Structure 1
């Protein structure tokens, strides 16, 4: 008797998703579908490109620029799911697929950018741009399309074109491998402790470690990992300096040796980027990359970093002197703060000065209440509402999907929330999207589907998820990115939402963080998870009073990332000594003695496998912008309708349709200065703050 043959599973990516809001049908997607759909998407877009190039009609904005913009929808449908899942719900098979397809996708992208027939048509349209009477968004699409091709090798000839193709493929492979190594090594760490090792740790950390051990079948023991919330809490509260040192060395020694070492890979990435920049006549990658940024040049980036380092260094030295004096009194002996001591003694001093203890605040930040508060911020500012929709499939039981509606009840999009750590998720927090906002050829507006992903403290057997103020701030940050995507109102996906200059993209996210220290905001949701009591005034005061605590340390730490990023991307020859190179890059902002075997470049995913190469400074750049922007709300009212409407209309809705400085000045009425940031961080009083409008370069028309 013949056995019935198993029917192949239909690939859900081959058609538009027939689901609520055309949302992703996660349960129908198998890993094997991704590569198959990517191959098909590449094939379809190649035909679309050929149709543009081979048409007999003369090049126009519509038949060339818009047609190119709208090509690749089948490919984008799968990539908009594949890459978010690679970060949030990965496994070995998915990682293997990503390694295989990275080369295909790099080649496909390069083939398009080096298509001489396509480039000729684009250049023809661009050269007659002054006669086309385009609106601002159409004009920006034409300019970005032209610039993208020019900066991707379209004007290169002969051997340089071949070299660009080779380098692009090599870089794609390297960055993919770097990111995978970070995730894989992080998941190898299991630190088993006994009850005698737990002195100083809060109950929440102990419960979580006990639960983790129990899940591994080892009751009575305590399992710690290097997941961010676990590591951060241990370094802040553990009374054991030997264990703090052990955790520190493990965490900061990741990917420096062994199977998952990134030491050679990161140096190769930096050198490959330098070689790509050289093809375009640039002396380094930063010079090439920053042409399309608000900063415009490496000199302007270094100007900002150095000015902030100079402004904050005296305050940092004062902070450290106070911490070391306090620690010496506490220990009854002279104490010099080591890298693994800072969080511990800084927290102790913060408690002594302000009676500030994040654990004391956790009960008032129960996750569901925080969700109401953070979503409620968008309600107060922009009139948005968020309704859970159980009919929308999610990719993991921890994930929840919401319909987002405007003040008039119209549908704006979908937001997915994913809060807790798991082995299949990379560390950190981020926002991404499964679908971009745009207008289709028939005039239909496609609304966005965005997701915010974090790694918060998980609930235990006895308590719900209770967040620290820092975790609430992280939620506010990623939600700001989400609003940038959800409120987009543009014609073209490539200019929609967060598709803006890298040093402008953090403005909406960091702007949101300002509300954490505002009592009027906290009073709306921060309630004790057992008693329902609103957060007391004295705890709100502690959040506000301590918001400036450690600001100089935090600034120099962030500047260290920025200086290191710029160093790697201003090299003019290959780097042989990775450790020595990083040490030198950090000289002007270094705060601790060097620790053998500990550097952060091998784990610096933002610049070596993310999109922040020569762009990490943008976090500080955006802090200048967000502090300046929020000062207008402080002046006019935290939820002032006219001010929030202007921010929505001129910043959140516009995406990359106009130059960011044009958009910012339209909202703010002036270019930003560093005054508000220095005042917010307590570095200078309002009367002392210098007026430095030149700190951010004006737009060059």
Structure 2
């Protein structure tokens, strides 16, 4: 049965046979895939011919394809549909894959071949994509420890193994902490909650045998909706404290894991000749250095502080008009901001949700992709997903197949929190055209049977954001698989996804959802309020990430570093960073360590690019965006891609204007 994971599927599009995969298949398939990949690498090393781009770099692109297939399927399931058995084998699979990658990176004979090709690059007649692939391969070996001596290689391998185990434990702790916590409410505790939240919380309670009760979880959407609508200030505080202190103590404590991971990352950076992990992480980014990344963040932080002070004064005035004498606290902010939007702009969040149903918003995303890029999405119920909630879509362009897309939008306890896009197969045409297979996952609260799942404007924006990532993967047009789609610089990867968010708040899109003009206007006006808060939340998390990863302390105290960083930037006491360190999965169980600032950097690109669209459905301009931004993947410098689309380098002024901070 391991062949179900390793071998190409006979299903249309090569869709994985999720209905045939058993949990017991994963470990044997990963072990077999690693053995096959080792043999393929050994054949490259043993080749008696002199090293060339084709017999070394291209051969490495082909090696490990069956392992990559099994690995991608496993990571999809472990994040979107994991049971106790999956969690139990996750550390071992992570350790196997980490050890395999380290062994390849430390193979002196393989590196000698790569180094020989790299040294002769000027006379090899390589095109831009090939040169970039060669540079990335060489850099990967160097930053993977290939130049270290034997003792330091051993230490590097030990660090990599421990970081893999710690990252897995961190993520599992965050999931477990969320699963273990719930606030059980009586009907009398529901004042202010919209019908959709009442319904979803009642179903969660019923699932635990608590009939007639309501259960609020620590899913971000659930918690933020409760903080936005509940009139019970005491309960808002309870939810806020539970949400912001996840894994900060208790049975799923991540504090020690965070400090240990920071120490190991710093030690690895020193081994490789970098000053800090942040320097190591950003060397191949658009920002290039932590100083440049922090400078951008602070240029946005300063006007955001002024904006948020004005917003806080307005919220305080609303509370005072209600006869309240308390100072606005973090658990009050969303509630009173909603009041301002409703009172000043006639924006009713519950009415917005009436129009933003999941099926409508998904259809709107597909429609926008059709109008912009000529894409069509057709349901394929014959291609199984990993859960009954999963829907499969064949994607075509002008009648020609483009790829496959899975959507898995509804919250389940076996999912990790948040929303994300991933790839089960990437586009390439090395030996023959290979179509991409992408998937989208979110955690929207499921409506009761017969009802539509309702989304807030922020949840709808999340759907469009992740859909932007999927378009990046689906519209890739590269030769080499490691350059496909979203395999770009970390501070460029969020550009297409942030860019796509504009279309869900565009009046042209909202009208297709049956939304009246008065409500559309209210959304437009309300977008202008709260940008200070949203900016402070995001930038504070980005600055925290940089602070802990710029630390050169071999035994860091992450909590102390965080306190000092927030004091230095004068963090408003009524707002918390969007992510606290002990549940910051982006940087401790993801790929954003030292680079979380990239969301804002990408927003500079996205705001500037969107400003070019006088008509948001300008098809020729959208096609240029496809050709210059989405299709090239990592075949050229990302700044060159942006300039090819916009005709010049990006300008920050558009970001400040977009966030109402100009």
Cα distance in structure 1, aligned partners of 2:520 and 2:55:
58
CA apart distance, 1:64: 0.4
Cα distance in structure 1, aligned partners of 2:302 and 2:222:
33
CA-based RMSD of the aligned residues comes to: 1.5
Query: Aligned pair 1:334/2:325, yes or no?
Result: yes
Tell me the residue number matched to 1:348: 339
CA contact (8 A) 2:490 2:598 kept: yes
Tell me the residue number matched to 1:362: 353
The one of 438, 444, 448 aligned to 1:460: 448
The one of 189, 192, 198 aligned to 1:197: 189
Query: Aligned pair 1:394/2:385, yes or no?
Result: yes
Give 1:39-118 correspondences, 5 Å limit. Answer: 39-118=31-110
CA contact (8 A) 1:389 1:402 kept: yes
CA apart distance, 1:158: 2.7
Tell me the residue number matched to 2:200: 208
Tell me the residue number matched to 1:643: 621
Cα distance in structure 1, aligned partners of 2:13 and 2:468:
23
CA apart distance, 1:203: 1.5
SS in 1 for 2:251: coil
* CA-to-aligned-CA distance 1:154-196 (integer Å, 9 cap, x gap): 1111322111111111111111111111111111112211112
Query: Aligned pair 1:612/2:592, yes or no?
Result: yes
Cα distance in structure 2, aligned partners of 1:289 and 1:580:
22
Query: Aligned pair 1:416/2:406, yes or no?
Result: yes
TM-score normalised to structure 1 length: 0.92
Tell me the residue number matched to 2:461: 473
Question: Structure 2: 5+ residue runs without aligned partners?
Answer: none
TM-score normalised to structure 2 length: 0.98
Cα distance change of structure 1 residues 34 and 44 upon mapping to structure 2, 3 Å threshold: same
The one of 142, 145, 148 aligned to 1:153: 145
CA apart distance, 1:517: 2.6
CA apart distance, 1:599: 7.8
CA contact (8 A) 2:468 2:500 kept: yes
CA apart distance, 1:670: 0.6
Tell me the residue number matched to 1:590: 571
Greater Cα shift, 348-357 or 409-418: 348-357
CA contact (8 A) 1:153 1:161 kept: yes
Cα distance in structure 1, aligned partners of 2:5 and 2:201:
40
Cα distance in structure 2, aligned partners of 1:641 and 1:200:
43
CA apart distance, 1:236: 0.7
Tell me the residue number matched to 2:508: 520
CA contact (8 A) 1:42 1:75 kept: yes
- By percentage of residues, which structure has more helix? 2
The alignment covers a number of residue pairs equal to 660
Tell me the residue number matched to 2:517: 537
Cα distance change of structure 1 residues 589 and 21 upon mapping to structure 2, 3 Å threshold: farther
Cα distance in structure 2, aligned partners of 1:259 and 1:246:
19
Query: Aligned pair 1:570/2:561, yes or no?
Result: no
CA apart distance, 1:462: 5.7
CA apart distance, 1:228: 2.0
Cα distance in structure 1, aligned partners of 2:377 and 2:150:
54
Cα distance in structure 2, aligned partners of 1:410 and 1:435:
18
Cα distance in structure 1, aligned partners of 2:291 and 2:220:
34
Cα distance in structure 1, aligned partners of 2:556 and 2:404:
47
Greater Cα shift, 209-218 or 380-389: 209-218
SS in 2 for 1:447: coil
Query: Aligned pair 1:246/2:226, yes or no?
Result: no
* CA-to-aligned-CA distance 1:453-487 (integer Å, 9 cap, x gap): 11113112463111111111111100000000000
Tell me the residue number matched to 1:260: 252
CA contact (8 A) 1:501 1:660 kept: yes
* CA-to-aligned-CA distance 1:349-391 (integer Å, 9 cap, x gap): 2211111121111111122221211101110001000000112
Cα distance change of structure 1 residues 500 and 10 upon mapping to structure 2, 3 Å threshold: closer
Cα distance in structure 1, aligned partners of 2:380 and 2:430:
25
SS in 1 for 2:620: helix
Give 1:170-185 correspondences, 5 Å limit. Answer: 170-185=162-177
The one of 305, 312, 318 aligned to 1:313: 305
Tell me the residue number matched to 2:8: 16
Query: Aligned pair 1:558/2:547, yes or no?
Result: no
Cα distance in structure 2, aligned partners of 1:536 and 1:602:
43
Greater Cα shift, 131-140 or 500-509: 131-140
Question: Structure 1: 5+ residue runs without aligned partners?
Answer: 1-8, 528-534, 685-701
